[in-house]
Structure 1
Amino acid sequence: MKNVIRAFGQLIASLFLFFLMGFTIAILLIQNSWLDMRFDSEYFVTISILTGAWFYFLRTFMSAKKLALWESAKATAAIVIASMAIIAFFTITKGSLAILPAYVVRKSLFLEGIFTLSEMNQILLVVIPVGIAIMVITLLKKRNPEMASDTGWNLLSRYQKFGMMFLYGFIALFLLIYLAQGEIQDSLSQSIQYLKDADVEGFRDYLLSFGSLAAVVSGLLMVFQSIIAPLPAFVITFANGLLFGWVGGAILSWSSAMAGAVLCFYLAKILGRPVVEKIVTKKALTWWDQFFDKYGKHAVFIARLVPIVSFDLVSYAAGVTSISFWQFFWATGLGQLPATLLYSYLGQNATSTVKILFFVFTIVIALAVLGMILRPKLQSWGKGKQGVKG
């Protein structure tokens, strides 16, 4: 029970310390009127709290001591004193002590429809002293001796550490921009809706709204869906064919999909198998291990030929196998080329029947690949049956 209470206290200390840092950054950025009109700086608090939770996870489960700022008395004291001084100075001198802190916290924690500014102020008057008290108590309490771990932070290579921090940084930056910039949030949400609805013409019109940047936006969305978003890439390919012609659309779709595949492959290499298991699940990765063992260097090529197989799942799985980058690169490039060319051509010439054509093509390719995989077994079964008759 004591260990549970101690762990909970450490969690609160980490979240509160990063809350103060995010709060301070938000207050400083709000002072710039130009930036404040175009960017909701309050969401730095949200991202900072998530960072505290991420660092707590690494400290607790991977013994990343250097990331545990809340365990250092000097770091904690410096952050608390500096943060409280900056927050007090700007809110008092601007005459907004009773408004600004409550407004920032309420918005960053999505509590605008729950608490009034007055109620939020009362909550802060309790939360801040309690948070500081918990940090002081956790500093006085020593952690239990470290347990040996096969996935400890110190056992990771420098590239694995960099990969984990880069991935989190990328996700945090994306969330910050998504939350804090209303136009980008609306635009991205609109694009995702078009992709989910398989609305090719709607997505084409959406790309057209970016003018000369249409190709750049299309490429970024293709990479985005390859890495973290399970969205139908074929809609982007169809729309590219419709907008840029089947040749230009195919080149854009193929190259951006390859960029996404390469990023997934190297992320898996850098992060290592334990982290990739968390992304794609251990069961799925085990199945892909067996698939790669059975078909070797042809496994990626076969998987790319079947449109219903998850593009990013194959890329992540390949990254933690013995397959070389160039084998992966050429197998991916050649394997996705037929579908890319066909989708681009259909996008230019047959948008009204996109869904039907896509599913027909998917079924035909799936049956062809299935036949190729089962052919040796069927042949051996047929020979065995003839031998029995003879």
Structure 2
Amino acid sequence: MAASPLDLLELDNLLSDEERDVRAVTRRVVDDRVRPHIADWYESGTVPVRELALEFGKLGLLGMHLTGYGCVGASSVQYGLACLELEAADSGVRSLVSVQGSLAMYAIWKFGSEEQKQQWLPGMAAGELIGCFGLTEPDHGSDPANMSTRARRDGDDWILNGGKMWITNAPVADVAVIWARSDAGVEGFAVPTSTPGFSVREVKKKLSLRASSTGEITLDDVRLPASAQLPLARGLKAPLSCLTEARFGIIWGALGAARDCLETALEYAGSRSQFGRPIAGFQLTQAKLADMTLELQKGYLLALHLGRLDSPTPAQVSMGKLNNVREALKIARQCRTILGANGISGEYPVLRHANNLESVLTYEGTSEVHQLVIGQKLTGLNAFAG
């Protein structure tokens, strides 16, 4: 009797009823609103961000791990399971939710004033307002400490100049959390995207994360009142803490992409016959399926362990992202071999997941960056500048 990839170790027994409920609700909305359309969205390079945000907002999926201001205050594991189900449909859809909740909303919730929280968070939690997170720059991806975007005082106002690149949700955002360097160090700002001098060019011709809205932000003498500054955001640790928050969702999300690939490969192998019998009955195919299932369950246990910790450290989160995304990409590529020529067809999700995971592998910290974070923790020596 065939078993599901996550059933062999009876991992559901490790979840509470509430956690399973969140998973079920998220899976239902994904099955209803995303899966029937995702292949077409990917092929056309479009995604109905605002429509999806409103649907996700109704279910409390946006900023779900935050408290107050319309956020439901879910546990880390509940949030992780939601990310897993979202990315089982597509990494771009999970990215929409991660950027909204774990980057833009979290930055305002953690570092903003009460006025800023009241202004932005309820609408963002409901999906009525869209946020983006402007840290990465064209010339400064893995090295945000050397960002070129500048903020200078002009009386009581701030003037921002610079640019940000590869910013998810930017083309449709109502508010952008922008990080800039001032004379005092790195500062954060909640910038209404309607502010004069703020412009966005949508990034086209992507070969990955095509069902995601991505933009390049230009800041040309953007004048902001003092009230736009995030008052508690001081230094580079502020945006980096937001990245740690978002990476936790990636740890779970990558498992969703891997699971979807593996389930597709299992179904295909059981129905595809060669040499007179299903290819699932061949030893080499079963070896692939066994190895992939083992890595999927190991990654799940790692994610669950991190979710049960009160507050995982950046190094612990780096271990999770490094392992789970790397293994998920391997699983996607291996599943494509089981599907043979059909593996490149858009009728199956496998190569779409593999293409998406190429982006997930490098955004919010490349594998090399996470290796160095872990290495520094192990040795006490900083190799980033060496």
Larger radius of gyration: 1
TM-score range, shorter chain: under 0.3
Q: Which has the higher helix share?
A: 1
TM-score by length of 1: 0.27
Higher relative contact order (CA 8 A, sep 6+): 2
Q: Which has the higher strand share?
A: 2
